[in-house]
Amino acid sequence: MNGAATASHRTAWLLGAALLAGAAGMLLLGAGVGSTGFESVLRARNDPVAWQIVWDIRLPRTLGAWVAGGLLGLAGAVAQGLFRNPLADPYLLGSASGAALGVAVALALFGASPFATSVLVRLGLTGAAFTGAVAGVLLTLMLANGVLHTLRLLLAGVIVGVVLGAARDLVTLAVPDILQAMQAFMLGSTGFVGWASCFVMAAVLAPMVAIAWSLGRVLDGLALGESTAASLGLPLSAMRAALVAVLALSTGAAVAQTGLIAFVGLAAPHLVRSIAPSTHGRLVVLSALMGGLLLMAADVLARWVIAPQELPVGVLTAVLGGSYLLWLMHRRRGRAGGML
């Protein structure tokens, strides 16, 4: 038994080191991918314009993709552990619909593009998205009468998501001029992530990872069932509230800066579990690293596939993530059929 635990521990450490090394490689690659290619990197030392392209645009965008993916991967691992459902994703408690509604209301009131270069507009829409995401989660908690019943919380999240999504559509219909701007937000983009956005997301990611890691024992207990977790003496109500807070803040911070990016939070924990099954304490950390690497790779690929133009990174993650999950379902069904 000790040998198996040691092997699992070693595998987790090796995976973490590989994910960090992969992120470092992607950061270097991201510095050279763009409309001007690797020439900007080669000329950066002597050309102020090339230096600005690399330092002020490409590097913060690539690093921001890593931090945003880390937030989504962490939130996905927490959501799947909290609801004991491998299909749970970070947007399950109404955060995505709330963020989209917040942006739609802000656009309707101020008539701005969600990815405009104005600092004031950008801060306003970022704040609207974050406020909407947190408000969506709070509305879910109110409807579910707190966090005591996981199933009720899950159903409340689905209902709130549908209602807030309908409200967003009504706002868009009432002010059709914001339709294109809303489409940009719904597709997701890392194109306008700067150093300030990186620092904001990193300031959220660090404490959220620490809190989720410290609550890993609670997630391990919940995996055995709520009655078993309660029999272990765990204060489920308070700790479940803390996990919901981690889920809401992580998702809200990522969505506010990048828009709605699909499948990263859903796929990252699955990949970690398939490579290095471990306790939830290690799972949440590795899922954050995996989510960061996935979004970094998707961001670089989105810039490279049809360069000098680029694809919306949210579309690319949806295609790649959806394909992976379909393959995973097909493989598991094949195994089940073989067993029968």
Query: For the domain that residue 331 is a member of, what is the CATH number?
Result: 1.10.3470.10
Amino acid at 91: Y
Tens of pLDDT along the chain (340 residues) come to 466 667 788 899 999 999 999 999 999 898 888 766 666 665 666 677 777 778 888 899 999 999 999 999 999 999 999 888 888 889 988 999 999 999 899 888 876 544 444 444 555 678 888 889 989 999 999 988 876 777 888 889 999 999 999 999 999 999 988 888 888 888 888 888 889 899 999 999 999 999 999 998 888 887 777 666 666 666 777 888 899 899 999 999 999 899 899 889 999 999 999 898 888 999 999 999 999 999 999 999 998 888 778 888 988 898 887 787 788 777 766 665 543 3
Q: Count the domains in the chain.
A: 1
Range of the domain at 94: 2-339
| Per-residue confidence (pLDDT) for residue 335, from 0 to 100 | 60
Per the document, the length of the chain is: 340
Structure pTM?
A: 0.88
| Per-residue confidence (pLDDT) for residue 331, from 0 to 100 | 75
| Per-residue confidence (pLDDT) for residue 117, from 0 to 100 | 40
| Per-residue confidence (pLDDT) for residue 262, from 0 to 100 | 85
| Per-residue confidence (pLDDT) for residue 106, from 0 to 100 | 87
| Per-residue confidence (pLDDT) for residue 65, from 0 to 100 | 95
Answer yes or no: are the C-beta atoms of 257 and 33 closer than 8 Å: no
CA distance linking residue 233 with residue 143, whole number of Å: 27
| Per-residue confidence (pLDDT) for residue 203, from 0 to 100 | 94
